[in-house]
Amino acid sequence: MSREKLITFLQTRGIINAAQAVEIAGEFRSQTIARHEFLLREGQVSDAYFFLEHGLFRAFANDPAGNEVTTAFYPSGHTVLEVSSFFTRSPSQENIQALTDCAGWVINFAQLNALFHARPEFREFGRAVLVQGFAALKSRMLSMITTSAAERYEQMLKHSPEVLQYAPVKHIASYLGVTDTSLSRIRAGVKGPAQH
């Protein structure tokens, strides 16, 4: 596995140039995680800043009744981490689990901080990625209030088809805030990728 996709990702904001991206990417080590294995378990402190080269992760938390509620999907080309736990060094309330075999590039909290101090361009890049992540979270929160489940499903179909291709229906349903039965009715009216 080469670092080319990581190097390209580091240049996406126009903050890090090609030579800098190669040097920064050299600080990451490769990591593979098998399907169903966990990158993070509830109660642990998140210590992996993971760039996912290929595969699909999901984050989930357990409600008071013990049901798993999917809180996020992480497709290839994205960073995977539990932001709150990672940056506050506190135990996570979420789990992050591989839905497929996953491979990518990782650094830990201490390494990330060292890079932030040594490389101002990486610090600015990291800030931009975090801002985008918080904006996406806010957008998701509002969509749960302002749009129907069918509209949310159609947005997922448009922007995250790999989630619909590889994630089980029960995980997609909990992420959209509907029952499996309701999601089946929505899917019956929308043509999309085959579900597992």
Angle at 115 between CA 111 and CA 119, to 5 degrees: 175
Residue 25 lies in a domain: yes
Residue with tokens 């996953």: 102
Residue 65 domain-assigned (yes or no):
yes
Region 76-102 average pLDDT: 97
Instruction: Give residue 82's domain range.
Output: 4-117
pLDDT of residue 84: 95
Domain assignment present for residue 128? The answer is no
pLDDT of residue 192: 52
CATH number at residue 60: 2.60.120.10
Q: Has residue 196 got a pLDDT over 80?
A: no
Tally of structural domains, the chain: 1
Average pLDDT of the chain, as a whole number: 94
Q: Are 112 and 127 contacting, i.e. CB atoms less than 8 angstroms apart?
A: no
User: Within a domain: residue 155?
Assistant: no
Task: Give the model's pLDDT for residue 164.
Answer: 93
User: Which of the pair, 135 or 195, is modelled with greater confidence?
Assistant: 135
In a domain, 93, yes or no: yes
pLDDT in tens, 5-48: 999 999 999 999 999 999 999 999 999 999 999 999 999 999 99
Is residue 138 in some structural domain? no
How many Cβ atoms from other residues are within 10 Å of residue 85's Cβ?
A: 21
Q: Is 75 among the domain residues?
A: yes
* Structure confidence at residue 1 (pLDDT): 80
CB 45 within 8 A of CB 85: yes
How many Å apart are CA 29 and CA 94, to the nearest integer? 24
Residue 146, in any domain of the structure: no
pLDDT digits (tens, 9 = 90+) for 105-155: 999 999 999 999 999 999 999 999 999 999 999 999 999 999 999 999 999
